[in-house]
């Protein structure tokens, strides 16, 4: 399912003394089936954009199109339940939203709220639990008896059980160690491929944006300042640093390596495997590239 923002502006506490412009003239298309990342420093407008993707916020100006549904500024947009069923959001620390007495009850809460029968909801719970790498045996356990990593996976299973067409990830690996972060991100990437989900990642991690996304959007001071493939975005690290952003570690290593070897590789490499293959090729040929 495609989502597009067309010249969207949003103001918090509009028409009050505390009014604040959060995003301005934002136009982004999220094509169906793609994996897109939104990056930018704190306060750039990423989270505000995220909340427009399933109508948690509605624009002060402009239009948001979610599938076949148009949400326009200054209009009463009713019956948004179906929109929110099709666009699932995994917020930071989703385990903080667990509240039921058992894992099963927590996972089926969303589907039941959207009108799914209890039998179907329980079936979805088992499937979703498997998708996040957990065993059915924990369905009867209290989510609060699980480890932190398991709790996060249960919360994610609750989003997947609604069978969304689009999944939005808001810093989904916050607080995890490097191994846990990679496991969670690899899991989402597998779901993206297997279920052909449209995936939108809001992140501070340049490594995750480079590794998983097809397209990256950079936001700064409430506006979209650049969009392109990971290779295009990270090919100019100086520009990113000026925006207050970092670059992936492998790109920093490539820059230092090029300086040390006194040559240019002609393109940016976003994985250590790609870079090592290029270096091996250069050394074997013994010529400057």
Q: What is the pTM of this model?
A: 0.89
Q: Categorize the per-residue pLDDT at 287 as very low, low, confident or very high, splitting at 50, 70 and 90.
A: low
**For residue 75, what pLDDT is reported?**
85
* pLDDT greater than 90 at residue 105: yes
Angle between helices 118-131 and 148-160 (to 10 degrees): 130
pLDDT in tens, 22-67: 999 999 999 999 999 999 988 899 999 999 999 999 999 999 999 9
Q: How far apart are alpha carbons 277 and 18 in whole angstroms?
A: 55
Summarize the confidence of residues 169-184 as an average pLDDT: 90
274 vs 52, higher pLDDT: 52
- Structural domains present in the chain: 3-247 (3.40.50.300), 248-289 (no CATH)
Percent with pLDDT over 90 in the chain: 66
* pLDDT greater than 90 at residue 285: no
**For residue 260, what pLDDT is reported?**
87
267 Cβ neighbours under 8 A, 6+ residues apart: 231, 235
Q: How far apart are alpha carbons 23 and 7 in whole angstroms?
A: 10
Range 144-149 contact pairs with CB under 8 angstroms and sequence separation of 24 or more: 144/98, 146/103, 148/95, 148/175, 149/176, 149/180
51 Cβ neighbours under 8 A, 6+ residues apart: 57
**For residue 261, what pLDDT is reported?**
84
Hey, what are 213's tokens?
Answer: 């996304």
**For residue 289, what pLDDT is reported?**
47
Task: Enumerate helices (H) and strands (E) in the chain, giving the number of each.
Answer: 11, 10
Secondary structure (3-state) at 137? helix
148 vs 28, higher pLDDT: 28
> Over the chain, what is the mean pLDDT?
91
- Is residue 248 within 8 A of residue 72, CB to CB? The reply is no
**For residue 35, what pLDDT is reported?**
97
Hey, what are 3's tokens?
Answer: 């989502």
> For residues 122-136, b (16+ Cβ closer than 10 Å) or e, as one string?
bebbeebbebbebee
Hey, what are 146's tokens?
Answer: 């699980």
Closest listed residue to residue 153, CA positions, set 114, 121, 180, 123: 180
**For residue 286, what pLDDT is reported?**
66
79 vs 170, higher pLDDT: 170
Closest listed residue to residue 95, CA positions, set 135, 46, 145, 55: 145
pLDDT in tens, 178-212: 888 999 999 999 999 998 899 999 998 899 999 99
Q: How many CA atoms lie within 13 A of 35 on its CB side?
A: 20
**For residue 265, what pLDDT is reported?**
84
Q: How far apart are alpha carbons 202 and 191 in whole angstroms?
A: 17
pLDDT in tens, 231-240: 999 988 888 8
Cα–Cα distances (Å) from 279 to 51, 216, 256, 266, in that order, read 43, 27, 13, 12
Hey, what are 184's tokens?
Answer: 């969670």
Cα–Cα distances (Å) from 34 to 69, 78, 168, 197, 212, in that order, read 19, 28, 12, 8, 10
Summarize the confidence of residues 75-87 as an average pLDDT: 86
């Amino acid at each position: 399912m495609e989502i597009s923002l067309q010249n969207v502006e949003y103001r918090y506490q509009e028409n009050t003394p505390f009014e604040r412009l959060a995003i301005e003239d934002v136009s982004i298309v999220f094509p169906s089936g793609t994996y897109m990342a939104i990056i930018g420093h704190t306060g750039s407008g990423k989270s505000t954009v995220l909340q427009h993707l399933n109508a948690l916020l509605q624009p002060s100006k402009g239009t948001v199109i979610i599938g076949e549904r148009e949400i326009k500024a200054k209009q009463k947009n009713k019956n948004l339940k179906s929109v929110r069923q099709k666009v699932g959001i995994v917020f930071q620390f989703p385990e903080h939203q667990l509240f039921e007495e058992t894992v099963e009850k927590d996972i089926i809460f969303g589907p039941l709220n959207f009108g799914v029968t209890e039998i179907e909801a329980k079936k979805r719970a088992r499937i979703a639990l498997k998708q996040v790498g957990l065993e059915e045996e924990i369905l009867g356990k209290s989510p609060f008896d699980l480890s932190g990593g398991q709790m996060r996976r249960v919360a994610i299973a609750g989003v997947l059980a609604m069978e969304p067409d689009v999944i939005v990830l808001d810093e989904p690996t916050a607080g995890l160690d490097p191994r846990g972060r990679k496991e969670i991100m690899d899991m989402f990437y597998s779901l993206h491929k297997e279920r052909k989900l449209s995936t939108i990642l809001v992140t501070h991690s340049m490594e995750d944006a480079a590794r998983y996304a097809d397209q990256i959007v950079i936001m700064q001071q409430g506006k979209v300042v650049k969009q392109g493939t990971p290779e295009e975005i990270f090919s100019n690290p100086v520009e990113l640093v000026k925006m207050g952003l970092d670059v992936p570690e492998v790109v920093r290593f490539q820059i230092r390596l090029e300086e040390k070897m006194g040559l240019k590789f002609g393109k940016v490499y976003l994985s250590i495997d790609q870079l090592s293959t290029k270096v091996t090729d250069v050394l074997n040929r013994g010529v400057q590239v």
